[in-house]
Structures are given as structure tokens and as C-alpha cells.
Amino acid sequence: MSNPVTVAIIDSGANTPHPHLPEVVGGVAFDLEGRASGDFADRLGHGTAAAAAVHEKAPRSELHIVKVFDRELATTVSTLVRAIDWASERGCRIINLSLGTPNDFREAELEPAVVRAVDRGSLIVSVHEHEDRLWYPGSMPGVLGVIADPDQPREKVAVVSREGGPVLRAAPYPRPIAGVPLDRNLNGISFAVANVTGVIARLLDDAPDVRVVEDVVALVAADRPV
């Protein structure tokens, strides 16, 4: 059996044990100045829900938590760059970025970290398009971009064509909570990204040598969940 797929969840941290997330390997937190600490507790719930969506689909994967949000879903580009570098330096095979920015001038700031991650063999999964605007780094070359589709089954990812290449389409819902209506639970493009990451982690568990975006897209296109 191959080694577990390692996944970095760059988000608001994680709380474990949780009914949907029994454990994580470990993690780090970066403040707005990029300073590191070991306090990756989740005070928003967003990161825990994202990590749980990944664990649901790929329970054998090893989750590394990289906290960049604390009291609100806001961070700096320099902190995000630091987080991406932390994950890729440690050889995380997938970097889940359930976040991004529509500001195209940030592309130049993010590009070096993206290139370093790709060169190190990490696959970045992030928001490609949201509210009719391209997002970064999800629309950048070498990144697996995601769009949300509320009609998509949560366990399935579709490949669709966009200018510049294929992108992945997924449901924008995290794991359901018993007794909570779908529209009252967390939802949004963030969880479409996490659902894609979970499916990819499951597929890569049986494909240890696949590290090229085009090959990952081919695996997703051929996937037929039981």
C-alpha cells in the first residue's frame, strides 16, 4: 500500500476531535505579519468544515493544518505566501486553498510561491472563478481551479472547459449536519474547493506517481464513484 496522501488545509485552523474530523497530523498558524505559532485552533469553524469535507472523501489522507484566519476570514498576501511555502517545503502533495482574491494585481505577488510549490511537486487546489470574476491563485497556470455548482453531487467532481484550460466543478456544501437544513449550514465556493481536494486525494491514494495537473484532471474525468 502506498503512503497516505498528505494534504495541507490553509484556512482558519481546525478543532479535533470533532464528529466529522477525528484527528489531524499537526499544523501551524501564521498571523498577519507572517509570524508562526502552534495555535491552530479554529475560532470560526470554516477550516474545520473544509478539513472534514476532505477527510470524508479521503479518510486515509494525512491532514496538515495551516491557519491564516483567526477572528475573521481575512489575511494578507504575504501571510498566504508564507503558508503556501510552509506546505510545499514539507512536501504536502495537495495544498487546499478554499480562498483567494479577485484582485488581479495580486497575481504577481502570489506567482513565486505557486511556482515554488509546483516545482516541489505540490498540487494547489483553489477558487478559479466566483461571482463572474477570475480569482487568484486559482486561475493561474499550474493550479487546479474550482467553480461551484449547487446541482453537482457532493461526492462527484466534473471537468468543464474554460478559456485557458479545464477547471473542476463541485458542490458548494460541506458535510451535512443532522437536523440542520442544507441552506442553514455553511456553504459556498470554499467547500467546492474542499470537495475537489477530497476527491483528488482519494484518487491519488492509488496513483502515487501522479503530480502533473493534466494527469490529475484526467483521473478526475475518468472517476466513477460507486
Annotated domain spans of the chain:
6-222
Bridge-partner residues for 188, per DSSP? none
Distance CA 171, CA 146 (A): 10
- The answer to whether 122 and 37 have CB atoms below 8 angstroms apart is no
Question: What pLDDT digit, counting tens, does each position of 161-171 carry?
Answer: 988 889 999 99
CATH no. of 6-222: 3.40.50.200
Distance CA 188, CA 209 (A): 32
Q: How many CA atoms lie within 13 Å of 165's alpha carbon, on the beta-carbon side? A: 14
| E-state strands within 92-149 | 94-97, 123-127, 129-130, 133-134, 143-148
Distance CA 24, CA 16 (A): 7
- Residue 122: pLDDT band by 50, 70, 90 thresholds? very high
- Residue 94 is predicted with a pLDDT of 98
- The answer to whether 157 and 196 have CB atoms below 8 angstroms apart is yes
226, pLDDT greater than 50: no
- The answer to whether 36 and 226 have CB atoms below 8 angstroms apart is no
Q: Which residues contact 29 (CB under 8 A, 6 or more apart)?
A: 13, 36, 37, 38, 39, 40, 66, 67, 68, 70
Give the lowest-confidence range in 72-76, 100-104, 177-181, 200-204.
Answer: 177-181
Distance of alpha carbon 191 from its chain centroid, rounded?
A: 8
224, pLDDT greater than 70: no
Give the lowest-confidence range in 114-128, 142-156, 164-178.
Answer: 164-178
144, pLDDT greater than 70: yes
Cell matching residue 159: 471537468
